[in-house]
A = this chain, B = another copy of it.
Amino acid sequence: MKTNALNSYVPTLEDILVAHERIKPHVHRTPVLTSSFLNDLTGAELFFKCENFQKAGAFKVRGASNAVFGLDEETAKSGVATHSSGNHALSLSYAAGRRGIPCHVVMPHTAPQAKKDAVRGYGGIITECEPSTSSREAVFAEVEEKTGAEFVHPYNDPRVIAGQGTCSKELMEQTDGLDMVIAPIGGGGMVSGTCLTLSNLAPEVKIFAAEPEQADDAARSLRAGHIIADDAPKTVADGLKVPLKDLTWHFVSNYVSDVLTASEQEIVEAMRLTWARLKIVMEPSSAVPLATILKNKHIFAGKRVGVIITGGNVDLNKLPWTL
């Protein structure tokens, strides 16, 4: 491993093993599904790790639970806090609720009512901000100051990355060896956890990341050799808009073989195909890996490939192929 100048603690294999024991009572060991139709179509042997069936509907509950249940009693009393309008907010609210501590979520007032309702449904306490980075940071600083809550970043946090790493640990246990693993990349929390697990437990397994062409900051970062952050990219894969940060960049730059991209149309088609053939409800973000496999068959043909389905929180009244 290259040594990087990092401000934060770099999690280790030991952290993943501790995380897995710690979160077991609070998360599902999600099943791995296969489809001979999709195998025939891609020429690869695909193993779909279904985190859409996870508690709170996404893998994010692994990292959130590890952070929440790893707090000492004194720190835990003041609760946790984050800024997110997506699955991390849901997951942190769920985990905090399980521990019986408060979870403060800063969210733009423009966020869909359904998302606010879902966070409140898990017991999260919402403070609204304006839909801008400056307002979010200012409001979040106020909430932190007032509550003394522990900040849990959606991905650039060693506790979160160690938690996400438990997903590929299970995937390896559930399959008889893999050649490659591919996961969607936004901020890089899942991909970093996957890198941490596989570089230690199965360093022969290649790791690919998949992202929308219209939010291809990770692909460009990897090519440039430094983090490139886009300002508000637009994509149907709304979980993948956020940029890499120092800790996730450390893992991505050291261990990811390539970042592959797919167009909006390719993502929606792969999503519909997965719903139709795997019979699972999953988010557009989760379809990006299959979309990239379908357009890069030469990379995956003949290989045993783990595909991480990251989440299933989607508006059933607004499916992208019917819009």
Contacts and interface: CB of A to CB of B under 8 A. Distances in A.
A57 B37 CA distance: 11
Interface in A277-323: 278-282, 312, 316-317, 319, 321-322
Contacts of A312: 279
A317 B316 CA distance: 12
Taking the full assembly, how many copies of this chain does it contain?
Answer: 2
A33 interface: yes
A282 B281 CA distance: 10
Contact of A52 (B55, B279, B317): B279
Given A316-B272, A316-B319, A319-B316, A279 B281 contact: yes
A276 B321 contact: no
A58 to B, nearest CB: 10
Contacts of A55: 36
Which of A53, A55, A272, A278 has the most chain B CB atoms inside 10 A of its CB?
A53
B281 A57 contact: no
Nearest to A37: B121
Interface residues of A, number: 21
Contacts of A319: 316, 319
Contact of A321 (B36, B278, B316): B316
A49 to B, nearest CB: 12
Contact of A53 (B33, B57, B272): B33
Interface string A41-54: 00000000000110
Contacts of A177: none
A52 B281 CA distance: 12
Contacts of A279: 52-53, 57, 280-282, 312
A276 B312 CA distance: 8
Contacts of A52: 279
A31 interface: yes
Contact of A316 (B33, B36, B275): B275
A170 to B, nearest CB: 14
Interface in A29-71: 31, 33, 36, 52-53, 55, 57
A25 B33 CA distance: 16
A33 B280 CA distance: 12
Contacts of A33: 31, 53
A207 B33 CA distance: 29
A171 to B, nearest CB: 15
A234 to B, nearest CB: 24
A316 B276 contact: yes
A309 B57 CA distance: 20
A312 B276 CA distance: 8
26 contacts: A31-B31, A31-B33, A33-B53, A36-B55, A52-B279, A53-B278, A53-B279, A57-B279, A272-B316, A275-B281, A275-B316, A276-B281, A276-B316, A279-B280, A279-B281, A279-B282, A279-B312, A280-B280, A280-B281, A281-B281, A316-B319, A316-B321, A317-B321, A317-B322, A319-B319, A322-B322
